[in-house]
Amino acid sequence: MSQDCIFCKIINGDIPADVLYQDDDVLAFNDISPQAPTHILVIPKNHISGPEALGESDETLVGKLVRVGTDLAKERGLTDGYRLVMNNGERAGQTVFHLHMHVLGGRTMTWPPG
């Protein structure tokens, strides 16, 4: 738990979220400002500031974030494609410094991203 971290507050139930899945390790909820018809965030329950803060011992956890994200995408019928995104650092658009994977789908995605 990191004080002043908005996602830690969601994990603790101090801030409400539209939770879609959780277990001991991860939490998935709808993004408050969706950029696509489906926009889910999958986060670890431990506070990790972002991708570059991951260590070797987190490799299983990262695999789980991806598996939970793809399971939720499948549940939502996103059979024709969706995007998994992790922003690392301010210049890449990271605004919340608690690791999170975006699951975006339900519309055609462009490449390269902006």
- Active-site annotation holds for 102: no
Residues 69-108 contacting ligand AMP, CB under 6 A: 87, 93-96
Considering CB distances under 5 to 8 angstroms, the limit depending on partner class, which of Zn ion, ligand AMP, none binds residue 6? ligand AMP
The contact pattern for ligand AMP, residues 3-42, with x = CB under 6 A and - = no contact, is ---x--------x-x-------------xxx-------x-
Per partner kind, with CB cut-offs from 5 to 8 A, the member of Zn ion, ligand AMP, none near residue 68 is none
Q: Which does 31 bind (CB under 5 to 8 A by kind): ligand AMP, Zn ion, none?
A: ligand AMP
Is residue 6 a contact residue for Zn ion (CB under 5 A)? Answer: no
Report the alpha-carbon distance of residue 3 to residue 18 in Å, rounded. Answer: 21
How far apart CA 34 and CA 17 sit, in angstroms, is 13
Tell me the catalytic residues.
Answer: 100
